[in-house]
């Protein structure tokens, strides 16, 4: 049961830091936490900010983040519903690392695209489709 007997390392499958890594190293997690780092948001605002996310994935990911204490959910219990999500302290501590990832992706995606093109072209040459 006690997983903390191990030297805590993400390289060890038994250490629950691996679980933590799996949670935070996911596309929707990165985007949601980055969005909430800008400012606290409601469900609808997140839906609009994060292009392409579905209601289902948003709710599902928010629940998981809330469950792990990274996001706080404030429900005013009004009608119509008014629910606000914000980062917890520990969520804030994570968000800067995640935003670094965002920026890296935004600054370097062109180079990745180019490398992919080169690689695929070479691969097509190596394995030419027999006509």
Partner DNA sequence: TTGGGTAGTTACCAAGTGGCAAGTACGCAC
Partner DNA sequence: GTGCGTACTTGCCACTTGGTAACTACCCAA
Cis peptide before 46 (omega within 30 of 0): no
By 3-state DSSP, what share of the chain in percent is helix, strand and coil, each rounded to 5?
Answer: 60, 10, 30
User: Which 10-39 positions form the footprint of a second copy (CB under 8 A)?
Assistant: 10-27, 29-31, 34-35
For DNA, which residue of 6, 19, 69, 82 counts as binding (CB under 7 A)?
Answer: 82
Q: Which is nearer to DNA, 14 or 96 (CB)?
A: 14
For DNA, which is the closer residue by CB, 24 or 83? 83
Interacting residues with DNA between 21 and 50 (CB under 7 A): 26-28, 42-44
Under the binding rule (CB under 7 A), the answer on residue 54 touching DNA is yes
Decide which of DNA, a second copy, none touches 122; Cβ closer than 5 to 8 Å per partner kind.
none
* C-alpha triplet 62, 66, 70: angle, nearest 5°: 105
Size of the site for DNA (CB under 7 A): 21
Yes or no: say if 29 and 65 are a contact pair by the CB < 8 Å rule.
Answer: yes
Whether cis (ω within 30° of 0) applies to the bond prior to 80 is yes
CA angle 95, 100, 103 (to 5 degrees): 125
| Site residues, a second copy (CB under 8 A) | 4, 8-27, 29-31, 34-35, 49-52, 66-70, 90, 93-94, 97-98, 100-102, 104-106, 108-116, 118-120
């Amino acid at each position: 049961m006690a997983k903390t007997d191990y030297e805590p390392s993400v390289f060890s499958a038994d250490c629950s830091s691996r679980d933590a890594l799996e949670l935070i190293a996911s596309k929707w997690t990165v985007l949601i936490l980055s969005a909430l780092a800008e400012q606290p948001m409601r469900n609808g605002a997140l839906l609009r900010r994060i292009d392409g996310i579905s209601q289902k994935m948003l709710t599902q990911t928010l629940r998981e983040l809330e469950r792990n204490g990274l996001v706080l959910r404030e429900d005013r219990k009004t009608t119509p519903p008014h629910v606000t999500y914000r980062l917890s302290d520990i969520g804030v501590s994570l968000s800067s690392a995640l935003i670094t990832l965002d920026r890296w992706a935004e600054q370097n995606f062109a180079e990745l695209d180019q490398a992919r093109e080169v690689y695929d072209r070479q691969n097509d040459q190596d394995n030419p489709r027999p006509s």
